[in-house]
A = this chain, B = another copy of it.
């Protein structure tokens, strides 16, 4: 008997009727002979409602107590989904993070899963029950409730699939699968049938919101076949899996944009050992994740350092940098939160020269100014003015042959 983990997000459990749909969906999979683990998020809107209560009580809430409040969203959802499975004639048991020992580190609000004790789940599955697991939450070593951050339920699902050696992990969303670009930004975007873990990881990192990055990392590490599917259609969706020869032939698989970053630039930073460590160490101490970092070559003993952080961390990062600037004698801290990062991703880049150059040419031809550049083996990212986002994505999508109307793949 095969085992499937199915994850349903907040919109899929937004009301009683949708909760019943999830229950019926799970029971169809059971009827088809699968062991079924459901991972569910809080009902749509619930996490924001709870966050509103927290903020009303305290503008600077303790992260431990905020997690205590937020974790209730998933707890309500698993209870209701288990009840719905029972109401549809099936058997089900709900499980919370502390009940199956989803042990995380103690970084509240951004915790990372370290260990799962799948024993209780195994027992429920062997008894023919649907196991309904609360996504997004765990406990640290001492039993404090932790949450994994937005989208954390994807990670819960993949981690459970890995722990249970499941045959597949299916992530149900309100879109058909993974697209070549965000259809809201680029009307010519196409759904992909397959994509490699590596490409998906880059796309997720670069702002494609269909999967949480950490969940893709887990899936890649433990070789979990990961499906992105729609809750509302029978479309087979997109399979995220190991790369194969055919994938290497495609130079650019997708375009991503991310409006959720902000840029800080430190002017005339003293060029001596330990300065960069001090700057980024101060940010790391506050658990602020830095994305792109660019440093100019030093001139006159000074260089400029620019980096991007998420908009949520922008205010905190500015405060930290003001302190660091005073300490290190940095001339000025500039900041800009009206930027966007536009990226092209593809396994084929590894074997094709000139992909980055082509990207810069396309943007130049459209008059889009590039503020920062970052590259990896399979992606190129450019930071541009936020208002150029759509123009940049659409022109790159077309230039790299991804438009739905394109009949053949275009190579660089």
Q: Are B53 and A16 in contact (CB under 8 A)?
A: yes
A30 in the interface (beta carbon within 8 A): no
List residues of chain B with CB within 8 A of the CB of A92: 65
Q: Please, which residue of chain B has its CB at the minimum distance from the CB of A88?
A: B58
Interface size on A, as a range, is: 35 or more
- Residues A69 and B62 in contact, CB atoms below 8 Å apart: no
Query: Are A66 and B53 closer than 8 Å at their CB atoms?
Result: no
Question: Does A335 count as interface, using CB distance less than 8 angstroms?
Answer: no
By a CB distance below 8 angstroms, the chain B residues around A253 are none
Please state if A75 and B69 are interface contacts (CB–CB under 8 Å).
yes
Q: How many angstroms from the CA of A86 to the CA of B60 in the assembled complex?
A: 9
Give the docked Cα–Cα distance between A66 and B92 (Å). Answer: 13
Q: Does A56 contact B (CB under 8 A)?
A: yes
A61-94, CB < 8 A from B? 61-62, 64-66, 68-69, 71-72, 75-76, 78-80, 82-84, 86-87, 92-94
The answer to the question of A24 belonging to the interface, with a C-beta cut-off of 8 Å to chain B, is no
Q: Is A98 an interface residue (CB 8 A)?
A: yes
- The yes or no answer to A19 lying at the interface (CB within 8 A) is yes
A64 to B50, CA, bound (A): 24
Cβ contact within 8 Å between A57 and B69: no
Chain B residues closer than 8 Å to A58, beta-carbon distance? 83-84, 86-87
From A58, A86, A93, A98, residue with most partner B Cβ within 10 Å: A58
Total identical chains: 2
Is A99 engaged at the interface, CB distance under 8 Å to the other chain?
yes
Known contacts A62-B86, A83-B66: A76-B53 contact under CB 8 Å:
yes
Cross-chain contact of A57 among B16, B50, B54, B72 (Cβ < 8 A) = B16
CB contacts under 8 Å to B, within A349-396, are none
- A263 is an interface residue with CB less than 8 A from chain B: no
Q: Which residues of B contact A98 (CB under 8 A)?
A: 98, 143
Known: A65-B80, A65-B82, A72-B76. 8 other contacts (CB 8 A): A59-B87, A61-B86, A62-B86, A65-B83, A66-B79, A69-B79, A96-B145, A98-B98
21 contacts between A and B (CB under 8 A): A16-B56, A53-B80, A54-B80, A54-B83, A57-B83, A57-B87, A58-B84, A58-B86, A62-B86, A64-B93, A64-B94, A65-B92, A66-B83, A68-B78, A68-B96, A69-B83, A71-B75, A96-B145, A98-B143, A99-B143, A99-B144
